[in-house]
Structure 1
Amino acid sequence: MAISHRDQEDGVRSGAATLRTRAAQADARADRRLAIAIDDFFLSDDGRLDDQLRDGLAQSLSGLVGTIEAAIRAHAGRLLAARGGPALAGAPLALDRLVAVGLVRDSELMGELIGRVRQTQLSEALPVESPDRADQPSMLARLSQYPDHVVATNAVALLAAEGRRREPGAGTRTDLPAELHHRLVWWVAAALRDSAPDATDTLDRALAEAALRSVAAHDESERLEASAMRLAAALDPRAEELAPLLLESLADRRLSLFIALLGHALGLDFADARDVVLDPDADRLWLVLRALELDRIAIARIGLALSDADPRRDVERFADALDGIASVPATEARSAIAPLLLHPDYRAALLALARGARA
């Protein structure tokens, strides 16, 4: 078929318009990249993610979204096949879509994931047990054989939860707090709907039913953090028993139990206790340990173990400050950490007000 001169001109104009659009988009992309590079350059080291944490965070987020997407795809796919609805696109796509629109920049979600990844990395980097303990069963293995059935049951549950956490995406659980799990489920369902070529009422209903199924199946009590807190409550150590248990949990590289024991002793939830332990400045941690009446030797051993595992911590600064830390009276330490023990929602509101005043 002959191509007219008008057709050629239309094609040229169309091609030129497409080229101009792509060039404009390229300019915008370059501008965004430059803005990000400038922001990154001026970030203080205190706030910057190192490469190891960045990689761990990317793997964690990918595993969580992938787990949810796989479950929703599977159930929605069965419903659509039975109802004659459109098929979902074959390749996983929810994470890219959620990142592109900025939904996963959610402070609660990212705060939880950063805390989890930092906890895992710190736990894995803790010093290995000394040779004289190498032939002993691990702390949780011993507790799983404890005469007290409640302690033994919860030790087994924590072992199982740690195993699940080490293999993200291997099962059907996200191990997230319920509210964050629900939020992520609905985001993934919406991303799947948004990317479908033929969005219909049938598709909407199938995705909504699949999301509700994932929400209903989530059991927050099986989370690693919940399991650790239950074991700490079952152990319920007396004041003189707390320091040996804290030291043993670090020697056994059970950072989750170390955090839970502190949280239980103070009446803090796991997330708040984790923030105290993971803070590389550790000023709150030293006050917490003194408020719980740990002595100089116990504080020194805890500080050295954490410093060995976390390159952000200044071991020389800790050594210089140790005598001062140990000399803080327990009553004074308890008074100093009183704001930490306020209701979490109240503390969050106070922080929000302070943030608004600084803006």
Structure 2
Amino acid sequence: MSISDRDPKTGGRPAAPTLLARAAAADLRADRRLATAIDDAFLGDDGRLDDRARAALAVTLESLVGGLETTIRAHAARLLTARALPQLAGLIADGVPALDRLRAAGLLRDPELMHELIGRVRQGLIADALPIEPPDRADQPSLLARLSRDPDQRIARGAVALLAAEAHRKAPIVTGTTLRTDLPAAIHRRLIWWVAAALRDVAAGDIDALDRALAEAAQRSIAAHDESDGLEAASTRLAAALDARAEELTALLTDALADQRLSLFIALLGHALGLGYGDVRDLVLDPDAERLWLVLRALELDRTAIAHIGLALCEADPRRDIEHFADTLDSIAAIAPEQARVAITPLLLPPDYRAAMLAVARGVRA
């Protein structure tokens, strides 16, 4: 059958208004696409997400927002049904996806949310790309396998908990189960309220009853959140249980990378420095890495250990320049630990103070 032979009484008629509306808005869409393409053309390479990171970030956002949306819709619909409002419950069960509304409102550009998600995505990509154990260690159990059998039960439980947290982070979200976002509590709470607000756009019905149901559903999800179950928290607890002495730290750091446990590598550095996980993750993920090399020298890691760590990160992260690292390795190793400790002193200031200093500097530059 040719295109001209299609029956307008079947699928053609309902689609016509939509087609006409889209045609009327075509100029506006084309203008927006051009503006986006121009912005993209003039973005600097420094800081730009590569294709892998962009795709992983999109999947992460869709999973998190979609999972929260499903949970809130389902609970709000149950509440409305129980309150003899089945029609409203039916409306809330469907509708425009929350992700589309949040994206259109610009809320997903929130710096704290994006900082956390981009950090999580890059950490996961680099961890998965870290070189596997060298052949001479192939017959040894992995680091976490060894630690899970440690006679110190705090260490053993911590290793098992980290394995479970890793499995959860990589597992797909299952509809109908309680969603664990692993987000910091403040960001999780903010995202929950955004999703709930994005779901209140219904054509008809008792808006007050809908608001009450959505608010209760959101509060239920907030109350169920426990960030201590997340990958970052599990890594931090294991690092604290290990409480590595100076002479043990080098082996643990290199073993963590050889085991593709970047989260544990970050947590071990954080424990040794007395810094929070997020601050150290920023250092480790920074492709320029000057602050990371200073931190490693401040902790008295030698040239061999820094070379091992640097090469592993260069292999796993395409943003890093392995030739530049090789050229600067001798200079890094020549920095005295005392000199490095003085240089990293600003990193050890209270996080809120450092954030305030950055905000002031950003304002002055503007």
Residues 70-109 of structure 1 aligned to structure 2 (within 5 Å): 70-85=70-85, 86-87=88-89, 88-90=92-94, 93-109=97-113
Residues 1-359 of structure 1 aligned to structure 2 (within 5 Å): 25-85=25-85, 86-87=88-89, 88-90=92-94, 93-170=97-174, 171=177, 172-195=179-202, 197-359=204-366
Task: Give the superposition deviation at 1:107.
Answer: 0.6
Task: Give the superposition deviation at 1:47.
Answer: 2.2
Task: Give the superposition deviation at 1:164.
Answer: 0.6
Task: Give the superposition deviation at 1:271.
Answer: 0.6
The 3 A distance-change label for structure 1 pair 69 and 328 is same
The 3 A distance-change label for structure 1 pair 216 and 314 is same
Task: Give the superposition deviation at 1:75.
Answer: 1.2
Question: Size of the alignment, in residue pairs?
Answer: 342
| Matched-pair contact (CA < 8 Å) for 1:69–1:92 | no
Secondary structure of 1:324's counterpart equals helix
- Cα distance in 2, alignment partners of residues 331 and 168 from structure 1: 46
User: Deviations for 1:156-186, whole angstroms, at most 9, x for unmatched residues?
Assistant: 1111111110024235111100001000101
Q: TM-score, normalised by structure 2?
A: 0.90
- Cα distance in 2, alignment partners of residues 216 and 107 from structure 1: 24
| Matched-pair contact (CA < 8 Å) for 1:232–1:260 | yes
Task: Give the superposition deviation at 1:92.
Answer: 6.6
Q: Which amino acid aligns with 2:27?
A: D
Runs of 4+ in 1 over 6 A off after TM superposition: 21-24
Secondary structure of 1:193's counterpart equals coil
User: Deviations for 1:259-309, whole angstroms, at most 9, x for unmatched residues?
Assistant: 000011111111110010011111111000000010010001001111111
* Map of 1:6 onto structure 2: none
| Matched-pair contact (CA < 8 Å) for 2:77–2:93 | no
Secondary structure of 1:226's counterpart equals helix
User: Deviations for 1:311-351, whole angstroms, at most 9, x for unmatched residues?
Assistant: 11111111111111001011111111111111111111111
Secondary structure of 2:151's counterpart equals coil
| Matched-pair contact (CA < 8 Å) for 2:165–2:231 | yes
* Map of 1:7 onto structure 2: none
Q: Which amino acid aligns with 1:163?
A: A
- Cα distance in 2, alignment partners of residues 216 and 40 from structure 1: 40
- Cα distance in 2, alignment partners of residues 196 and 52 from structure 1: 39
CA RMSD of aligned residues (A): 1.7
Q: Percent identity?
A: 68
Q: TM-score, normalised by structure 1?
A: 0.92
Q: Which amino acid aligns with 2:285?
A: L
The 3 A distance-change label for structure 1 pair 320 and 31 is same
| Matched-pair contact (CA < 8 Å) for 1:67–1:173 | no
- Cα distance in 1, alignment partners of residues 167 and 361 from structure 2: 40
